[in-house]
Structure formats: C-alpha cells, structure tokens
Amino acid sequence: MNKPIKRVVIAGGGTAGWMAAASLSKLLGKHLSVTLVESDLIPTVGVGEATIPTLHILHQLLGINEAEFMASTNATFKLGISFENWRDVGKDYIHSFGYLGQECWACGFHHFWRKGQELGIAKDIGDYCLEHLASREGRFAIMANQDLNHAYHLDAGLYAKYLQELAFKHGCVRVEGKIDHVNLDENDGFITGIRLDNGKLVEGDLFIDCTGFRALLIEQALHTGYDDWSHYLPCNSAIAVQTETVGTPPAYTRSIARESGWQWRIPLQNRTGNGLVFCDKYMTDEEAIDTLMNNIEGKPLNQPRVIKYKTGSRRKHWNKNCIAIGLSSGFIEPLESTGIHLFQKSIVRLLQMFPHTGINDADVAEFNKQTKEEIDNIRDFIILHYHLTDRRDSAFWRYCASMPIPDTLTHRMALFKQSGRVFKKAEELFGESSWVQVMMGQGLIPDQYHPIVDMMTEQELQAFLTNIEQNVKKKVASWPPHMQFIDHYCKSKMM
C-alpha cells in the first residue's frame, strides 16, 4: 500500500483505544486526522487496575503530570506483587520492582547472596532491595534523582476518561456508534472503512483494532488467526467485584493462590478491586463466585461479573492496514499486570515505525517480530509461576506442575538451577531481578554461585552485604507511610 497515511481510525475505546488516541493525537496529530469509534452500549472489560513501571515512558512522552493523573484516577502506588500460597500453601514471597543489591560485571547480586546464605551471614534477599522493604513496611516517597521503580493501582475507567480528555485537546474526534460491517478493498483486502449501525461510514487509511476479545477487524474481517496457549495457561475465566476499603491500602498488589486459580486484591484510594482468575474445567462459575465472595474484605459495591477468555496471541498483530492493540491482539492473564504495558508498547512501537508514506512489508514484518518476541517472553514468565510449584493439593495444581512447558522456559530454569545465571534479551520486559525473585520465591535455588564471589574473603562479603542492607533500611526508614504521602501528593478529587 503506497498510499500515504493521513487518516487513522481507532475502533473501540477503553484503556487501549484512548491510550492510542491520546498518543497519536498529541505526538503525530499535526500530520494526521485521528478518529475513535465507540458505542456507549458496549461495556469495556475494564478490570485491570494494576500497572508496572514502564508506564512512565508513555506518560513522559505525553507530558502527563503524575500527581494530577493519580488524583484523577483514585490511584495508589505499587512497588510489587505479594504472591501468597503460590509455592505452597502458607508460603509467600514478594516480587518487587527495583533491583536486588549490587551486581558486578560478571554476575548478579544473588550470587553474592547465595554464598552469604551458605555461610549464614545473609538475610532475606528482599532486605537488599529498597522497593521490597518499603512495600513490606508500608512506606513510600519520591526523592530527587530517584529511579522510577514504582507503578500504580488505578481506576481503569477513570484512566480512559483522563486519556480521552487529552486526546480531545489534541484534535481527536469521537464517533458514537456500533460497528455493523467492515469494508474491504476488492483487490488487496485492505480495510477501507467501517460502517456503523446508524448508517454512518467511517473511512481511513490505517485502522487500529481496540475492540477487545471480539477482534472485529483483525480477526472477524481479516481472519488473521490465533495461537491458543490454554495448554500452558489453563485459566480461562475471571470474576470481578469492587469492595469498600478496609484498613490502610498497601503499596503492592496481592495475588493469593486458591484451589483452582488465584485471587487479586488491588487497593485504590476509594475502594479495593477484587477478582478471581480460575479454570472452569476445575471450578464452576458458581463455585468461583462463592470462593471470591467468601474471601473479600469490606462491603461489596457491585455485583460480581464473570468474564470468559482464551489465553493466546494473534498470529499477526499488524495485518494489511490493521494493527491490533489491547485484548484484540491476544491475552495473557493479569498475574504480573502486563496488560496495559503491552497496549503501551504496541503504541510506542507504532509511533516509532509509523508508515507516513505508505505501508510496506518490511515494517509490518519487523513490528510483528518484535511484538511476538516480547509476548512470548512474558508468556514464559507467567507460566513459570504456575509450573514451578510444590502444590499438589488439587487437580488444578497437579496439572500445572506436570504440564508441558515451552523449551525456552525449560532452558531458563535449568540454567538458573545449575549456575544461577539469568540473561535478558533485547525485547524482554522482565529483567534479572524479576526472574530471580520469582524462581527463588517458587523454590528454585541455584546449585552454585559464580566463582568471582570467592575473590572476597568471608569478612569482606559480610561487610558488603551488611552495608547494602543497612543503606536500604536507613533510606526506607526516612520515608513517610504510603497513604500519608498520597494525602499530601495526589489525594483523590472524588473522595
């Protein structure tokens, strides 16, 4: 398609649609017309309320003020995820943001910690990470020149509205209506326009599919295909409900493993988001609702609703002149809060590779290659939580422990077990600290450490570990309580 791209049409709203609209309008809007089509009659999934630190990248590009955004979305800070009962019932750990201790050119900090454990001079590995300790002690602060190793718990509906206002400010046009038909060019099969149920035709040069699980453009019109990952990630259902806040909101997400899945608790300033992710082969919807409602804190604010999905990925995320962003591109369950990150990453990738002069095969292939590599790596990281477990107390967990896993994950686990080594590839989201925390949290401890550690005497190693631990403790002690900081920095406008 050698035709210059002047008109971008975004099909569907929600978080993904309005992230795309705000980004394209603000950053490329002088050269484009950006139109978003959505229907007030179609609800968005909108249960994902936890993010990861990469969201700072998009917010900086869009010039978003953190305090204003947080106050507008009832947001709290997030420093990691507490995984409870995942390794086994009664065994918990935290996967925190930030970095563990201090690495060297040859190996990560966990090698030094591993020898310290053997010698009985090392504390819990989380005591050597600022964000890990702060999350446990309920403290938070933003200091000058501090790494942006924090994320947010936010109201996804309010976040979409916040982005919508930004998009409108930069010229995006919203068209109300339900998509009735997708028009295709008879010669090349490219999308030429989408017809709405009110008869209106919205034409464009480039189309972004943000229609959620329905994937009206990328799949129903273009028949792109879908790789099903249910054999790796068997959960296929979720129950969501909101409750009144009880107690002080922690600066972390809670992920509590249950008999046939896991429960989330996400604290906002004005309420708590709750949900249960489960596999309906092992638990009925009614049993899941009972399990969730018997394990919430605070009065329910709405009726629990059931969401059905199939984990997997679209075979092409850019097909012809259509790019799938959001749930239309695939779905990896929300265990590590990667959903909004993937929306953002596809948007930034599109901005970097935007086809101003026309769509060419090389750009499309590169976009799809990068997207696939990143999604496959995230998939492996999520599978790790399920497969690397000592739980055998239910049919669900016995399946997870014995199920086949990708060769790429088998290699990572074997490499870490035998040598403690972790290597991050260019397109990977999760770095060494993340893999180390989850693998060791789930019970996989390296058999050995790097020989460079033995260059230190026992006394030098002890001084090295103690200095890091004391510095972390001192800094965290100087921070105020999490909610005290929020009250002064970004208190909600709606409370």
Q: Which residues contact 9 (CB under 8 A, 6 or more apart)?
A: 35, 36, 37, 193, 194, 202, 203, 204, 206, 207, 208
482, 269 contact by CB (below 8 A): no
Question: Nearest CA to 51 among 70, 23, 65?
Answer: 70
Q: What sections of 74-190 are H helices per DSSP?
A: 109-119, 130-137, 156-169
Tokens of 28: 């490329």
Please report, for residues 84, 277, 452, the alpha-carbon distance to residue 456 in angstroms, rounded to integers and kept in the order given.
Answer: 36, 46, 8
Burial class for 161, CB neighbours closer than 10 Å (0-12, 13-18, 19+): middle
CA distance 233 to 374: 17
CA 47 – CA 54 distance, rounded (Å): 19
Q: Which residue has the tokens 């966990």?
A: 110
Q: Which two tokens stand for residue 310?
A: 């199939």
**DSSP sequence for 342-360:** HHHHHHHHHHHT--TT---
**Of the candidates 311, 304, 368, 315, the residue with the CA atom closest to the CA atom of residue 335:** 311
In the block, residue with structure tokens 């080594």 = 421
Tell me how far apart the alpha carbons of residues 104 and 388 are, in angstroms, rounded to a whole number: 28
What pairs with residue 202 in β-bridges? 194
Which residues does the annotation mark as catalytic?
A: 78
Phi, then psi, of 91 in degrees rounded to 5: -115, 120
Structure tokens at 35: 């139109």
Q: What dihedral do alpha carbons 306, 174, 176, 208 form, nearest 10°? A: -60
